[in-house]
Structure 1
Amino acid sequence: MAIVFDNVRSRAPLRLGLGGGGTDLADYCFHHGGVVLNATIDRYAYAHLTRHREGGIVLKADDLGTEESLPCSLDFDIRQGLCLHRAVYHHMMTEYNGGQAVPMTITTTIDVPAGSGLGASSALTVALIEAHALAMQLPLGPYDVARLAYDIERRHLGLLGGMQDQYAAAFGGFNFIEFLKDEAGVIVNPLRLRRDHLNEFESSLVICFSGQSRESADIIKDQIGGLKIYNDETLAAMHDLKQQAHRMKISILSGDIPGMADVLRESWLAKKRTAASVSNSTVDTLLEVALENGAWAGKVSGAGGGGFIMLLADPERRYGLIRKLNQHGGEASAVKLTFEGAEAWAVR
């Protein structure tokens, strides 16, 4: 399969995990079945592919200030350096280009800091796959792209994490996603929300960067450890998170945003029971400030330990809430929901 387009761009949206996060870990969902409720937002991971006229492979992560130059071959370690760039390129050339390397420059950026808890790494993997798929005219649908992104991250690279981020980035929108037990498959259920319910939810939503990036792998390792040794508290907390995702879905479908906040509060307590490292003093302080200034409830997005905090608040007090969080060292803002998944386009 030859490269058809010499200049391609792509983007994939980041996501907020509203409920059920953690039940998408293989060690849980393959045994018990998992569900998550998530929504994509107007923050993106971007990839840009161009033919390299001088014959090499150049990999760039402009937001990290990192660049690598490799010979035009597939004889490199995918687990070194910019491993997502390397692994996607290596897989696409091996599987779809007869094992032949193509001279190429691959440049990426992400709208948020590393370790944000918004699924940025998986969104980047999805964006990289989408760009390659368009350049090579491959008939990959969103399920194909999401599953491939999962395989590359979790199996090829051995990166710890769940399954929701790849599907959220590939499909986009407000989704209730089921991860069937015994690896029977994944079902993405887009929610058909009334416009007034959606507007009220979005008007209640605040995200706040804690100022601390975190290494999700350590937290996930603690959670997986609890599951593998059949830690009763970890397992019970995961069961609670799954039930709370169902309850939160019912709340958003009925437009009950304070009801969503009640479940969010319970979900945060359950999440903290899955691993001791889920919260820290900075997160606790910002959540305390938020609850004193109009927030109904909040939790850390993603595995925890830092990154972004997601809050549901009284819309009439949202402006003051954002100002207070920023005065206390957070980086808070409103956020828009998005309903398009990963996209790629050729540059003429």
Structure 2
Amino acid sequence: MLKDKKVAVVGNQTSVVLNKNGEFVHLVDTLLASQISVSKVFAPEHGFRGKADAGESITDGIDSKTGLPIISLYGNNKKPTPVQLQNIDVLVFDIQDVGARFYTYISTLHYVMEACAENNVDVVVLDRPNPNGNYIDGPILEPEFSSFVGMHPIPVVHGLSMGEYARMINGEGFLKNKMQAKLWVISMKNYNKEDTYQLPIKPSPNLPNAKSINLYPSLCFFEGTNVNAGRGTDLQFQVFGSPYLDAAIFPFEYTPQSTEGAKSPKHLGKLCYGEKLTDAKNLNRLELKWLIKAYQNTANKEKFFNNFFNKLAGNATLQEAIQAGKSAEEIRATWQEGLAKYRKQIEPYLLYSN
């Protein structure tokens, strides 16, 4: 499919191939060694090598190993331009996702597919397992809350591989003017969504291990509050805390520091009171109990939520329900009708059993 074609790659540090010696080799190096004409690389949030902070501006550059130009797909240039796609026949998309709506690589996939549809460039998605693919949960995003951390009317935990997600983008007419990209999904063999999948390379700087990836969909809501979710520690998305929580109720103490991937974490240098969740059982649903407990025991409830929370939730009702004192189960009950419709909606796009 790539032979004698002019190829571009959308990739990051997870875009690797296991060689015969049991070593990970970057996809770009693998293609070049196979005499495939790769002319440029597009890099998503966190950059080509995956070391930038969440939300940090990524600049264009040159890959020191191959000399290929690297074009950032984050910040002001989230979508490849016609000029950037000139003389490209095929764009290969290979990025490890973690199955949460607000993890921005699926938004990058949308913009890449849209640009390729507009410029007559084929899209090849190299599929990878979804480490949170064994369940579907959370509220469906409402269109007025669409943003780069949630572009489509899907639940927080969408249950799809990247290839399945690309098929849904095409099939549901999510692209501008309901265009469809010319899409090829290279599917996996022997993959079952119920299987536990340990990512061999961390997908972003603040998801260092399987525990953080499992807790991420539930703890990422804290990004829309005044609570730190472990950024600036070596327990990212495995602890939460703030200076405003009750130390008697939240006895775990830590102080966020400036680290690679979290140069200016929330509450930098301040003592935080919270919980350590490294011993929590593996989740198979979106868990709200920690968010509700933190809200109920914060020093100043009016300053708990920030403007980012509703974008993460995809609605205004989750914040309102928590403020009204609703229980986790009462809130979860309001999601079920939307989740049932979503499960039926995605059936045509599924490639794997579960």
More helix by share: 1
- Highest RCO, 1 vs 2 (Cα 8 Å, sep ≥ 6): 1
More strand by share: 1
Q: Do both proteins adopt the same fold according to a TM-score greater than 0.5, normalized to the shorter chain?
A: no
Give the TM-score normalised by structure 2: 0.28
